[in-house]
A and B are shown apart, each in its own frame.
Chain A
Amino acid sequence: MSSSDIFGVMDRRTLLALGGFAAAAAIIGPAGATDLYGPKGSGAKSGGTLNMGLLVEPPGLDPFHQAADARIRLTVLIYQGLFYESPDGTAMPLLAEGFDLSSDRLVYTIRLRKGVKFHTGQPMTAKDVAYSYNYIRDAKNGSPGAGDFAMITAIEAVDDATVKITISAPNAALPMTLGNKYGGVVPAGYFDAADAKTKLNQASVGTGPFKLSEFKPNSNATLVRNPDYWEPGVPYLDRINFVFVPNAASLLVGLRNKRIDIATLSRPQDVKQVEGVAGLVIERKPSFNQKAIDLGAELKPLDDERVRRAIALAVDKDEIMRASIGGLGNTIGTMVAGMQESWGAPLDKLPNQKVDIAAAKKLLAEAGHPDGFELTLTSIIGYDWMDAAAVTLREQLAKIGIKLAIQRVELGVWVKNFQSKQMGFTFNDWATVPDPNLLFYRHFHKAPEGADFRNWKNDAASALLDEGRVESDPAKRREIYIRYQQAMAESVPTIMLFSADHVVVRADKVKNYDQHPTGWYYGLARAWIA
C-alpha cells in the first residue's frame, strides 16, 4: 500500500469516527492538494509527450450525453465537477472549496474554488456551476446522469463564488453524485447553440488539467496541458496521445518497441507476454468493477427465489475467476473489491456464497425442478472474460441438472434487453463510483424510484436502500448497507463473481502514475516522464 493509500484510509476512518455528515463536511474543507488525483510525487519533471494505448476507443467525448466508461476514463482529465471521487470513498472538494449543510440536511451551500478558468479563458463563476448542473439534471436534455440528480429540487447561484443546492430528502451521497462521471462545469449557456452537443468532440470547454487538441475517430485523441489550470505546477505532461489500438497483439508489440508508453490490460495471456520485458513495469491495482451473473425475474423459473438460491449455491466464483482472468482479481461477495473494506458485508455473514451442491439440488426439488431445467445464458461479444466464464458456469450448473445454453450477443442488443428489463440470465460487467447508494439504488430499488432492471421487486431491500440514502451517520449507514447486502445475498437478484484488477503496463520512464480504482485516468494529471 502506498503512503497516499494509508493517508486516504486515515481520512475515511477519521470521518467514520465523527458523527453526522454536517460535521464531516466541515472537516473536509479545502481539498488536500497532495491527494487530489493521486500523490504529486517528488522530483517531478515537466514536459514531454506520453503515448497511451487504448484497446477500447471512446465512442465520443461528450460528458453530458455519453455514458460509456471508455469516455469517462478520458474526460475526467478535461472536465471537472464539484467533488473528486477519492479512492477511499470520500468526496473531496474539487471545484468546490467546501460546503455547509443546513440543520435539516436539505440545503448545501457550496463555496467555490477561486481562480478557476475554463479552457476558453473565461473565469468560472457560480452561474456556470448552477447552469451546468441544472442542465444535466433536466432529463429533457437527454443526459444519462439525469436519474442520479433526481433528488435535487433547485440549484442557484447565491453570488459569484457560492452555489446553493436544495434536495427533496436528506441524501448522504450527494457530494459523490456531484463528481465527474457525468457532466462537469461548463460556461453558462453553452448548450444554447444548436451544434453544442457535437462540438464537445472537437473543442473542450472544461476546467480540467488538460484540453482537447484533436479527436480523430479510429486513430487518436490528443490532449494538451491547460496552461491556465488552477492547481499550481501541475499537470507535468505537455501532451497525451491516446492511441486507439483495437488489437491486443499490436498493443503489446507497441509496448515492447516503445511506440506506447503506458496501457491497461485485462487478459491474463496479454499480461504474460509483457512480464519480464526489460524497460516495462507491471502494476496491479484493485478496482471498483464487478463481473456478475444477473438473474432477471421476468424469466421463469428465475422468478422463484429458491431457484436463484440454488444457482448461487452451485457457482464456484473462484473457479470462474481463474478460468476467465487467470487470477488477476479478487472474488467478491456483494461488494466490489475496492470498496469491501469501507462498505462490504463480511463474507462469513452472507448466505449462499459457498458451493453446496446437495443444498442446491434440494432447493431445486422444492421448487418443482428435481431434474433441473434448460436455461440460456447471455454473454456479450467482445468481453473476453465471459467466454471462458460461460463454459465454466455450464459445467458447474450441470452438477445440479441445469442444462445451460450459451448465446453470445452484440453489445447494442444486450443493452436494449437490459434497458427494457428483459435481460434473463446474463453475464454483466459494470463499475461504480465509491458510494453504496450510487452502486445499488438505481439498479436494485423497485420502480419507479429505481430502475430495478432485474425485476427483483423486493420491498424490504428497497426500504433499506431508502434508509441508507437518508442516513448521514457513516457508521449507521454502513450497518444499513450491510443489512441490505445480506438481503441481496439471500434473495439473489445477482451473483457478484469477482472484481478484476486494473493491470497497468508502463515504460519505466513513466513516473508517478497511480491508477484510480474506477479505471479512469485521473493519474495522468500527476504522471511525468523521466
Chain B
Amino acid sequence: MPFWRGCSRRQGLKDAESMGAYIVKRLAALVVTALLTSVVVFLLVRSVPGDVVGQMLGQTSDPVAAKALREFFGLDQPVWQQYLGWLGRVITGDFGTSWTRGQPVLGMVGSALAVTVQLAFATLLLATLIGVPLGILAAIYEGRMLDRLIQCFNLLGLAAPVFWIGLMLLFGVSTGFDWSPPLMYVPPSEALGENLSIMALPVLSLALLQAAAYSQFVRQNIVSALGQDYVRTAIAKGLPVRSIFFTHLLRNIAIPLVTFMGLILIQILGGAVIIESLFALPGLGRLLLSSIETRDYPVLQAGLLVVVVIAMLVNLVVDLSYRIIDPRVQLS
C-alpha cells in the first residue's frame, strides 16, 4: 500500500475524530446555552406585569378565586422554586400543559413548529431559486439595463414591509381571480393540495423579499470576486465562462451564501409572526404571540427555548457545512 494512501486514511480518521469532538463540544455548549436561556426566559416572562390569573378572571376577579388559581398554577411559590420544578419536569420530557388551552405543550409547540418549518424551508427554496440566478445575471450584466431592472427589484424587495407584500398579493389574487387561500390550516399529510393552496401566498410573500436580499448579496459578491486575481488568471487561461462561474466563482461565494441562508432560516423559524397572522397560519410566531398575550408561561417558555435551540442547531449545521464546502477550513 503506498505510503501516501495510509497517510490519507490516518488523516481522514483524524479529521473524523476532530469533527466528532467538535460536534460534541458544540452540542455541549448548546445544552449549557439552552439552560442559561431557560433561566433568562423564565425570569423575563415573569417580569411582564400581569399573569394568567388576571387574564382568566378578567375585570370582576375575586381575591379568593385569584389566590386559588395562583396556587393551582404554582404561581404562589418563589420563582426559583417554580423554575426548578419546571426544569425537573422538562428534563424528564414533560413540558406540561398549556394553562389556557389545556393541551400538552409539546404537542402545541410541535404542531406550530411543523407549520413554521414548512414555511421556512419552502421560502428558502423559492428565494434561492429566484434570488441566486437573478444575482448572477445582475453581476454578469453589471451596469446594463438588465442589471438595473434586477436592482430595482432588489430595492423594492429590501424596502417593502412583508405585510404590504402579503396584502398586495392577497388583494391581487382576490380581485383578479376571485380566489383567496383557505383560512383553516390543513397539514400536508391530510390534504396536500389544500395545504399547498394555503401556503402558496405566504411563501411567495416571504420569498420575494428574501429573493431580493439574496440577489443583492450574490451580485455584490460576484462583482467583487470578478476583480480577484484567481478570476483574472482563469480568464487569461482561456477557461470557458461557465467553468469560471460554476467551478471558481460560485464555490468561493458558497461560504458567505450558506451563512446568509442560515440567517434567513433562523429569522423565519424564529417566528414569521406578521405573515402567519395575515394568512391565519397556526405557526410558532403566532403561538408565541398569543402565549404572551394570555401569559401562558409553559407554552411561552417551551416555544422560546425551541427557537433558541433551533437557532443554535442551524448555526452548527452552517459551520459544519463550511468544512464540507472547503476542506481547508479548520473547525475549532
Contacts and interface: CB of A to CB of B under 8 A. Distances in A.
Interface size for chain A: under 10, 10 to 19, 20 to 34, or 35 or more residues?
A: 35 or more
Interface stretch (A83-91, A140-148, A364-372, A400-408): A140-148
Contact of B184 (A220, A410, A453): A220
B203 to A, nearest CB: 16
Nearest to B290: A218
Nearest to B104: A198
Given A217-B287, A218-B286, A416-B49, A247 B103 contact: no
Interface in B77-105: 97-98, 100-103
A60 B100 contact: yes
Contacts of B51: 412, 416
Nearest to A219: B282
Interface stretch (A30-38, A237-245, A297-305, A319-327): A237-245
Contacts of A244: 280
Contacts of B58: 67-68, 144, 415
A485 B110 CA distance: 53
Contacts of A177: none
A241 B184 contact: yes
Interface string A377-414: 00000000000000000000000000000000011110
Interface stretch (B137-145, B167-175, B212-220, B305-313): B167-175
Interface stretch (A250-258, A282-290, A518-526): A250-258
B301 to A, nearest CB: 16
Contacts of A435: none
Interface string B23-58: 000000000000000000000000011110011111
Given A217-B282, A416-B49, A65 B102 contact: no
B267 interface: no
B101 A215 contact: yes
Given A67-B56, A259-B183, A247 B280 contact: yes
A202 B277 contact: no
Nearest to A255: B180
Of B48, B102, B170, B290, the most chain A CB neighbours within 10 A belong to B102
B59 interface: yes
B50 A198 contact: no
Nearest to B296: A59
Contact of A199 (B102, B112, B278, B293): B102
Contact of B101 (A68, A201, A413): A201
B284 to A, nearest CB: 10
A463 interface: no
Nearest to A62: B102
A246 interface: yes
Contacts of A418: 59
Interface in B157-187: 167, 170-171, 174, 178-180, 182-185
Contacts of A411: 55, 293
A67 to B, nearest CB: 3
A144 B60 contact: yes
Which residue, B61, B64, B69, has most C-beta atoms of chain A within 10 A?
A: B61
Contact of A66 (B62, B100, B283): B100
Chain B interface size, under 10 / 10 to 19 / 20 to 34 / 35 or more: 35 or more
Contact of A139 (B49, B62, B183, B286): B62
Nearest to B111: A216
B279 interface: yes
Nearest to B49: A413
B68 interface: yes
Contacts, number: 171
B56 A250 contact: no
B65 interface: yes
A197 B102 contact: yes
A259 B278 contact: no
A128 to B, nearest CB: 22
B59 A147 contact: no
Contacts of B56: 59-60, 65-68, 144
B72 A257 contact: no
Contact of B50 (A57, A254, A412): A412
B108 interface: yes
A11 B165 CA distance: 55
Contacts of B282: 216-219
A249 B62 contact: no
B112 A218 contact: yes
B102 A412 contact: no
B183 A412 contact: no
Nearest to A417: B49
B294 interface: yes
A198 B277 CA distance: 26
Nearest to B97: A198
A410 B171 CA distance: 30
B34 to A, nearest CB: 24
Contacts of A60: 56, 100-102
A259 B278 CA distance: 15
A477 interface: no
Interface string A203-228: 00000000000011111100000000
Contacts of A215: 101, 103
A144 B61 contact: yes
A53 interface: yes
Contacts of A53: 183
A247 B61 contact: no
A259 B97 CA distance: 32
B92 to A, nearest CB: 18
B178 A257 contact: yes
Given A201-B101, A257-B178, 14 more contacts: A59-B100, A67-B56, A67-B57, A67-B58, A141-B65, A141-B68, A197-B72, A199-B102, A201-B102, A241-B184, A244-B280, A250-B183, A254-B180, A442-B60
16 contacts: A60-B102, A140-B64, A141-B65, A142-B68, A144-B57, A144-B58, A200-B102, A202-B103, A215-B101, A216-B111, A249-B171, A253-B170, A254-B180, A257-B174, A257-B179, A410-B293
List 3 tightest A-B contacts by C-beta distance, closest first.
Answer: A198-B102, A412-B50, A67-B58
